[in-house]
Chain A
Amino acid sequence: MTGSYGAAQADRPGGGRPGRRADAHDGGPVREMHLAVELPGPGTAGTWPEDGRAADFAAYVRLARAAERGRFDFLLLGDGGPPREGQPGFGAGTRAGPAAGALAGPEPSSRDARNWPEPFTVLNALAAVTERIGLAAAVDPGGRDPYGLARRLAALDRLSAGRAAGPALAVPEFTAPTGPQSRPVTIGGPADAAAPEVVLLDRPCDGGAVVVPGAGERTPPGAKILARIDITLAARAEPPAESGGANGPAGLPGEPEALAARLVARFRSGAVDGFLLRPAPLPGGHGLDLFVERVVPLLQARGALRTAYRGSTLRDHLGLPTPAPPVPPQVTTGDDLPRLR
């Protein structure tokens, strides 16, 4: 399934897969960089300029389509954590403090989560304007009904024909019909006790070995580790712009060539499997355009990034195994349950 690389493989330096994480479950000899983009949400302070609120939905569509053109693995969208007891409304008169979830990134936003769209609804809508890219909901299961979350995640997975990811949820009795990837990909942070299949790091390593807290014991050997990274590109081949580091975990300003080289170097070091990009804070959802136009071709030319999707599910993109469908509990067939409606 990795035979379609063609010329891209020729570019790969010998010994290009020394990392400890390389090839564990890639299903082939070529280790592939995984890219994802974090869509603006309550946890992404500094990445959205428009009035501290979500912009028009068209901006999200533009980001999603740019990411799919760049053959990214998935879009990530978070929320502001579970609703608090008695949270009455959206308006300014009722605002409370921030409630960024565990997955919402290193900088909990001071903005109000109520001014941001609900992730599952947005991802379901984005499934209609994209064809292949994965759709990850970074919602914190704490304080929520796990069954309700599992159900919403399963609905997203089926409506998108196997492109969903979300937090690992402990719902043993849950037996929703499965889609083509059997169950949604699990995603979480390095300290996540549930051993997610995709681990998001707040800070990338810089060349050296990355320290993943607890990863040795908890992270399954096939898990993909993605490092969050801010992308700030100079529009032309000008001197690097102001560092994006002020806004995020690790800004990568500069020219496309330099950026591509640094990404590939970090990836080839074997410490990470890819990157979660936080796009430049450009209005209208144009923050990813330059990266996809200028950097993605360079990554592809270096043989680090796929030039086409070879599968249709998110598990295909990530090279994760498709588990056997869950076996429904034998307590009931469903036919003897009372019918609602």
Chain B
Amino acid sequence: MRRARALHLAAAIDGGTPFDASHVVDLARLAESGALDFVTLGLPEQGSGGPGPAGPDALDALAALARVAPATDRIGLVPAVSVPSAGTEPFEVALAVATLDWVSRGRAGWTLAVPADDPGGNGSGVRTDTDKGTRRMRGGTAAARRRAAERVAERAAERAAFRWRNAARTAAALARAWEDGGPLPGASARPVTAVDATEPAARPVAARHADLVLVRATGPEEAAAVAAEVRRLVAEAGRDPDRLLVLGELRVDLGGGELGAETGAEAAPTSDGADGVLFRGGPVDLADLVTRWHRSGAVDGFHIRPVRPLRDLERFVNGTVALLQHRGLFRSFHPGTALRDHLGLRGTPGRAEEGAAVTASDANPAVAANGAGPDRLAVTGGTAS
């Protein structure tokens, strides 16, 4: 049974020119003005950052967020680092993450950028006959089509397992780097580790290493099912499942804001055709969706990916977040300085805690959040008046 906990919100600031410092700084400051927990930055796509024998460097996103760190005060900084990364030792990645934590005074995290699924088998190391399989799915008898579909799904699972086996090795190597403490003063705790746990193959990695998992789901039930599965694996790995945060990941298009608010219909996210989930609607619709999902206990919050970075992040912060703050569901400032403060992940493992966000309602065990949860949610100090 899950209690509704403090709401956590984060945003991706990808989408601009990879190394345009003012672009990433502006977006990060905008997110900070909304008191979001953290921003993430992915690796630039191949081609946008210059082609080369090894694609984007493992530390490209980290470099950009290091540039952002002194230009911001409170917001968490979570770069994607690629794994496995050609030519970069896990220790180098670990030291760079630790250094980002040091220059930002405890605001760093990192997330695994695992290469996207590549059905052609190019780069994944697993040759497949997907195209043939896909053709078989279109013709022949129903049974043949079903068998072909099963085969395609099996191949995809094999490829995912292969990609995440490599990711698991790097994640383990990074975790080992902190076993005897951090390298630099003032940053003793291990930087926050985030893992996208949507793919089943990712969940064992998340269970062992993640402080925070991202889930791409079109509904709260689906998200809750993934969260439950990951928490079960976390407990099996000997960690405290209550200290794992689960954020829904949505691509967000707030371009139709003015219309959406008046219909009264619930705007629901849909699969975006690729691997993501797309929400299209207005800032108010999104605030309602955030409230519904969070209140149900399915997720601890959301990580949004603005479809158009500047427009959608601005509408998210000044529309959705402002409304959530007004409703007392989201803090209006950062009470702590470190990312672990924002996430309520400081302190002794084993004790479910909300850090600075504990309130009377949160401490009340009657505030259950399964099904028809009560309206009272954990509220951070100093909510909007």
Contact = CB atoms under 8 A, between A and B. Distances in A.
A155 B57 contact: yes
Contact of A88 (B21, B49, B123, B176): B176
Contacts of B63: 120-121, 124, 152, 155-156, 159
A51 B185 contact: yes
A124 B55 CA distance: 21
B92 interface: yes
Given A87-B91, A145-B86, A334 B19 contact: no
Interface in A49-64: 50-51, 53-57, 61
B273 interface: no
Residue of A122, A124, A158, A175 ringed by the most chain B CB atoms within 10 A:
A124
B50 A89 contact: no
A173 B89 contact: no
B181 A91 contact: yes
B184 A53 contact: yes
B99 A118 contact: yes
Contact of B70 (A120, A128, A145, A158): A128
Given A116-B183, A124-B67, A340-B43, A155 B103 contact: no
Interface string A107-121: 000000011111011
B201 interface: no
Q: Size class of B's contact patch?
A: 35 or more
B67 A176 contact: no
Contacts of A53: 184-185
A90 B103 contact: no
A268 B19 CA distance: 40
Interface string A157-168: 011110000000
B43 A341 contact: yes
B52 A161 contact: no
Contact of B89 (A87, A147, A161): A87
Ranked nearest first, the 3 interchain pairs of A and B with the lowest CB-CB distance are A91-B180, A145-B87, A176-B50
7 contacts: A57-B105, A89-B179, A114-B95, A117-B99, A121-B59, A148-B88, A179-B19
Given A124-B64, A144-B87, 15 more contacts: A53-B184, A89-B91, A90-B178, A117-B98, A120-B63, A125-B69, A127-B21, A127-B67, A147-B52, A155-B64, A158-B19, A159-B63, A335-B47, A340-B56, A340-B115
